[in-house]
Amino acid sequence: MTDSAKRVAADKVPKPVRTLARFFREKIGWHRIGFALSIAIITIAVVVLYHLLQDIDTDQVIGAIRTTLPHDIILAAVFVAAGYFTLTFYDLFALRTIGRDAVPYRVAALAAFTSYSVGHNIGASVFSAAAVRYRIYSGWGLNATDVAKLCFIAGLTFWLGNATVLGLGITYAPEAASAINQAPPWINRGIAILTLAILCSYVLWVWRGSRVIGRGQWQVRLPGGPLTLLQILIGIIDLSCCALAMYTLLPSEPHLGFVTLAVIFVSATLLGFASHSPGGLGVFDAAMLVALWQMDKEQLLAGLLLFRLLYYIAPFTLALIVLGCRELILNFYPPPAPPATISDIIAAGKKEAEREPGTKG
């Protein structure tokens, strides 16, 4: 898009909106708004947890953990493992999208598992996960720009999956979202339908032609229509596995439908993500306790603690061990030079041609 076309597009935006956006950008700064929002979410969560947990019987929580059936814990662990397995395809899909086909699946799996495990627990996953990815992918010839593009595509997969799950889930069970935001079900259903409409518009947009966003070296070619559907499917499977793990660990009474739990779980996860607290600690738990008010608090808290152990602590510990062993191996056995990509071969050929004085272009 040319500069003149961008100015024309900007002129179509209502003046009050442009004025408000300029005020936030120049006087406040979008990063300050994000920081203030994170602090507000964490503060509210702390207050809510204080009121919800002040009468909790710790002995009953421990007893609920001990009486949890081993079968349920094993099944939840299987769903967690399936979720992390699905996460490996976030990176593999992103690598293929940015043209880094030479990176094998095993490297993508290692980078995805370790980066997400670290990012989930440290917080500010945009930076912490990217740092882990760069450490691994730099050995295969990817630079910081490539890793940034990869993170963007992986993040797009995450958000497309969330939009689909929440859009479909809230349209079917709007009262599940009302349990968290306290809005009337008809408003939540309307928002969900609007979300699905925007999602369908995006799919049609990328289906109708090649779409490139960004400038210069930061340009990213978006996946086309069929590949976008694959993106959405990957995101749905990932979120479904995580929700099934949580569903398995919940108290059996009162009975709760899986779709309702999935909406509550994904909404609580996104609130934790927005807070940037490590693992959504406090925020995710407060949202779940508020939304599932009808369940016994001690049993629900036991399920949340077991889920944290399986989904956060165990993978984080394993990721640190894997990364530590990898660093030790690389210290004694440096890796060979990464295989050259097609673009690298073309660039090398052009440089060689430029060095030969008698060569014509």
- Of 255, 173, 164, 155, nearest in space to 203 by CA: 164
* pLDDT digit string, tens, across residues 256-271: 889 999 999 999 998 8
* pLDDT digit string, tens, across residues 54-71: 677 788 889 989 999 999
Share of residues in the chain with pLDDT > 90 (%): 49
Task: Give the pLDDT of residue 361.
Answer: 39
Q: Rounded to 10 degrees, what is the CA torsion of 98, 103, 104, 106?
A: -100
pLDDT-wise least confident of 101-115, 196-210, 341-355: 341-355
CB half-sphere exposure, 281, CA atoms < 13 A: 13
In the predicted model, is pLDDT for residue 186 greater than 90? yes
Please state, in angstroms and rounded to a whole number, the distance separating the CA atoms of residues 346 and 361: 13
Helices (runs of H) and strands (runs of E) counted in the chain:
16, 2
Task: Give the pLDDT of residue 9.
Answer: 40
Q: Where are the domains of the chain?
A: 31-332
Task: Give the pLDDT of residue 45.
Answer: 61
In the predicted model, is pLDDT for residue 349 greater than 80? no
Task: Give the pLDDT of residue 126.
Answer: 72
Q: What letter does residue 278 receive in the DSSP assignment?
A: G
* pLDDT digit string, tens, across residues 130-146: 899 999 998 898 999 99
In the predicted model, is pLDDT for residue 3 greater than 90? no
Alpha helices in 54-143 (DSSP H): 58-66, 70-97, 105-122, 125-137
Please state, in angstroms and rounded to a whole number, the distance separating the CA atoms of residues 201 and 255: 36
Q: ∠ CA 175-236-242 to the nearest 5 degrees?
A: 75
Task: Give the pLDDT of residue 284.
Answer: 87
Q: Rounded to 10 degrees, what is the CA torsion of 29, 30, 31, 35?
A: 110
CB half-sphere exposure, 262, CA atoms < 13 A: 24
Asked if residue 312 lies in contact with residue 125, where contact means CB atoms within 8 angstroms, the answer is no
Average pLDDT, the chain: 82
Asked if residue 139 lies in contact with residue 323, where contact means CB atoms within 8 angstroms, the answer is no
Task: Give the pLDDT of residue 297.
Answer: 87
- Of 198, 171, 194, nearest in space to 262 by CA: 171
Plot region of 160 (φ>0 → left; ψ -120 to 50 → alpha; else → beta)? alpha
Q: ∠ CA 338-342-346 to the nearest 5 degrees?
A: 110
Residue, of 104 and 17, whose pLDDT is higher: 104
